[in-house]
Amino acid sequence: MTDQPTPHNSLIGRRVPVLDQGWIELQDIMGDDLAIVNAARVSFLGESKGPERDKKLLFYLMEHRHTSPFEQVEFKFRVRAPLVTWWQWVRHRTWHVNASSGRYTAFEEGDFYVPEEWRLQSRDNKQASEGALTGPDSDALTGKLRAHYEAAFNLYQEALDAGIARELARLFLPGFAVYYTWVIKVDAHNLIHFLRMRMAPDAQHEIRVYAWAIYEHFFKPALPWTAEAFETYIMPGLGPIQAP
């Protein structure tokens, strides 16, 4: 892992595709590894003491869970994800969110998530999946899902054409599958907690892929020291082989 952060101006505006038609885009970022170190040294006017000592202090902060200095860095993203993902995302109440609304903007045909595979219910864990359905049965389910989406959207469009308000017409749409776009903001401390929970192997795939995209494409390039400390003390053994 490099010790040199990627310049913010090369990260802002970067958009990474996720799932079948989702994406995550960095809109803004405030602060860097040094900002975290300087916040910890606020009593000493926050002056750098050189890369080696600065990095050592940041690792100390992460190891001993001195979290407030990490709150001095903030990320703001624009994200397009299906509601099944947002349903879990908003459980992390430390994110500041503003979402698009179906009351103001009509949905478009095809604004629905189609999974790459049909995961099977785990026999031992009520909230987890295990393995996947394969062969003709899997293809048949995907075909039925697409037909369901098409029929639902036709009913939605029929209601709009009849003059029904968008806030009611959307009742025809398959709720958990609809893609929404959000603007979301979080500080690095709470983002670390989110990543620890949602990058884990037992996290649901639909949110895990977004967490990994944030980490690999934005968090790690912008905060290389913090990412290295995260992999050392919070998620030891983390590596690309674990990525979904």
CB atoms within 10 A of CB 187: 20
Helix, strand and coil percent figures for the chain, each rounded to 5:
50, 20, 30
Domains and CATH numbers, the chain: 8-100+179-242 (3.30.1360.170), 118-177 (no CATH)
Give the residue-averaged pLDDT of 153-172: 97
Q: Supply 147's token pair.
A: 């037909």
Residue 97 has pLDDT above 70, yes or no: yes
How far apart are alpha carbons 222 and 35 in whole angstroms?
A: 12
List the catalytic residues.
198
Tell me which of 231 and 127 has the higher pLDDT. Answer: 231
Long-range contacts of 211-215 (CB under 8 A, 24+ apart): 212/243, 212/244, 213/16, 213/18, 213/24, 214/24, 214/75, 214/77
* Structure confidence at residue 243 (pLDDT): 67
pLDDT tens for 177-236 read 999 999 999 999 999 999 999 999 889 999 999 999 999 999 999 999 999 999 999 999
Whole-number mean pLDDT of the chain? 93
How far apart are alpha carbons 110 and 159 in whole angstroms?
A: 17
Question: Model confidence at 238, in pLDDT bands (50, 70, 90)?
Answer: confident
pTM: 0.93
Q: Which amino acid is at 211?
A: A
The pLDDT > 70 percentage for the chain reads: 96
CB atoms within 10 A of CB 47: 9
How far apart are alpha carbons 244 and 234 in whole angstroms?
A: 19
pLDDT tens for 4-58 read 889 999 999 999 999 999 999 999 999 999 999 999 998 776 678 899 999 999 9
* Structure confidence at residue 85 (pLDDT): 97
pLDDT tens for 50-88 read 999 999 999 999 999 999 999 999 999 999 999 999 999
Start-end of H helices in 41-187: 51-63, 83-89, 136-161, 166-169
Give the residue-averaged pLDDT of 142-148: 97
Start-end of H helices in 64-218: 83-89, 136-161, 166-169, 188-198, 205-214
